[in-house]
Structure 1
Amino acid sequence: MSELQDGVAIVTGGSTGIGAATAKRFADEGASVVVADVNVEDGEDTVAEIVDAGGEATFVEVDVTDPAEVEAMVETAVDTYGGLDFAVNNAGIEGENEPTSDQPLDNWEQVIDVNLKGVFVGMQAEIDAMLEDGGGAIVNMSSIAGQVGFPNLTPYVASKHGVIGLTKTASLEYSEAGVRVNAICPGVIETPMVEATDQASIEQTIAATPIGRLGEPSEIGDAAVWLCSEEASFVTGESLVIDGGYVSQ
């Protein structure tokens, strides 16, 4: 993926898990990376790992629900590295586990704000920068919960379905201008969010996954970087499911 060399990427939620793996993969391919997150300590650690390995990276503390902070994040990429070529809108939260009628409204609002509004606000700022730079590629992180329902996770499922809708619409609007927009729908990946789940639930998920294991963050990061590369130049508006066969059953 030589075309990624000297490119500039933003990864939100880049401190740990899928985001950190994606940021490192961009750096491995020669891109300069803005690692953006509310998690400062882990974000700075991710940047340090990239720099120690010979890559270029900068950390930006950002609340993806705040348009001013998101604009500042994009400005950091442009001012520090000269433009913006790639963006992975990965920041997200799961929220509380409750049946629909028992879901607290404040939980609904927080999950929708981070997972859906955060992607929308991110795309607005990123697309503007990419249009000024002649084009680019965006990957939005949805989920298998954007493909099917999951009991007791109404806000999360709604937000991840919404990410797919945003992705398809933006892809139609900006393809001719040279900006491709795709989504990834990961299955259950071995991340801090999943590790906080009780072991019985994890084992149940593994048993329900045809491949028979959890996914690795690097497997999602590899796909995100591929979608941003010229190898995926004819791919836009797609929602790529990477789940070990979970939703194929």
Structure 2
Amino acid sequence: MSDRLDGKIALITGATQGIGLATAKLFAAQGAHVYITGRDAEALKSAHNAIGANVTCIQADSTQITDLDHVFEQIKTEAGRIDVLYANAGGGTLLPLGQITEQQVDETFGLNVKALIFTVQKALPLLVSGSSVILAGSSASIAGTAAFSVYSASKAAVRNLARSWILDLKGTGIRVNVLSPGPVRTPALLGYAGDDPAQQQGMIDYLGTLIPMGRVAEADEIAKAALFLACDDSSFVNGAELFADGGMAQA
């Protein structure tokens, strides 16, 4: 099937690379008109070229409330509604206990929690009955990870937001679910190993040994999981966390 999002309006934040970009490509191919956001104008231009048709790019920083206001005002004017919202923008840095800084906590929770909260809240007037909200989680939220506690805690917060919001949204027909990948071969993941391709591959190979499927995911595999949550195939899935982690946090 190639039309599971036919005529839908989708917004994916932080979609200039990695999982967000792969998902935007898939949603557009499945018939949606996709709005994507990103901080960098050149990266947005490159993403636009990669996606092709059915895409509108908006330069915005999800941590800035005024930027979010601009995003939703543009979508309201041009499309009038949102059928699928994927709050995908996020990230984190590595620091072990004893070296955690106030800046790291503020930046990580600012992007992964505060920005996500206001992305969804400001989208509410445009979300229609039957719409799907997908929150970017992580398998790190349920598993201890050395030097990654702040990021992991922020993703645990995302999980509870979904549980709580489905109660707030009872009767609206709006679904909220969490999509939690494990390690995915993206520029963000490779960046943790620095610029040396050999070190990057070594990290990928090592992570593969920790995953029951024996490898890390590709971004388009996570995009397919997002498509399931976005379309009517998951019409009775609400408040759930879908792990796409090859079994890493499940064993």
Task: Select which of 200, 203, 207 maps to 1:201.
Answer: 203
Deviations 1:81-116 (A, max 9, x none): 232111101111112x22223201111100110011
Equivalence for 2:247: 245
Q: Distance in 2 between matches of 1:149 and 1:75?
A: 40
3-state SS of the aligned residue for 1:85? strand
Q: Does 1:168 align with 2:163?
A: yes
Equivalence for 2:59: 61
Q: Distance in 1 between matches of 2:130 and 2:212?
A: 38
Partners of 2:185 and 2:204 within 8 A in 1: no
Partners of 2:96 and 2:146 within 8 A in 1: yes
Q: Distance in 2 between matches of 1:35 and 1:118?
A: 15
Q: Distance in 1 between matches of 2:139 and 2:21?
A: 20
How is 1:67-216 mapped onto 2 (pairs within 5 angstroms)?
67-95=65-93, 97-130=94-127, 133-198=128-193, 199=199, 200-216=202-218
3-state SS of the aligned residue for 1:60? strand
TM-score by length of 1: 0.93
Partners of 2:175 and 2:239 within 8 A in 1: yes
TM-score by length of 2: 0.92
1:39 to partner: Cα distance: 2.6
Partners of 2:81 and 2:126 within 8 A in 1: yes
Letter in 2 for 1:79: T
1:165 to partner: Cα distance: 0.9
Equivalence for 2:43: 42
Q: Distance in 2 between matches of 1:78 and 1:33?
A: 14
- 1:164 to 1:172, Cα distance in 2 relative to 1, 3 A: same
1:3 to partner: Cα distance: 5.1
Identity of counterpart residues, as a percentage?
29
Letter in 2 for 1:177: T
Moved over 6 A (4+): none
Q: Does 1:11 align with 2:15?
A: no
Equivalence for 1:217: 219
Equivalence for 2:196: none
1:34 to partner: Cα distance: 0.6
Deviations 1:44-95 (A, max 9, x none): 22122222xxx21111111111222112212222222232111101111112
* Structure 1: tracts of 5 or more residues without a match: none
3-state SS of the aligned residue for 1:164? helix
3-state SS of the aligned residue for 1:24? helix
1:42 to partner: Cα distance: 1.8
Q: Distance in 2 between matches of 1:3 and 1:82?
A: 20
Q: Does 1:235 align with 2:232?
A: no
Letter in 2 for 1:208: L
Q: Distance in 2 between matches of 1:154 and 1:195?
A: 19
Q: Distance in 2 between matches of 1:37 and 1:61?
A: 5
Deviations 1:19-41 (A, max 9, x none): 00111111001111111111321
- Bigger helix fraction: 1
Q: Distance in 1 between matches of 2:228 and 2:159?
A: 18
Q: Distance in 1 between matches of 2:124 and 2:43?
A: 27
1:135 to partner: Cα distance: 4.3
Partners of 1:183 and 1:238 within 8 A in 2: yes
| Root mean square deviation, CA, Å | 1.5
* Structure 2: tracts of 5 or more residues without a match: 194-198
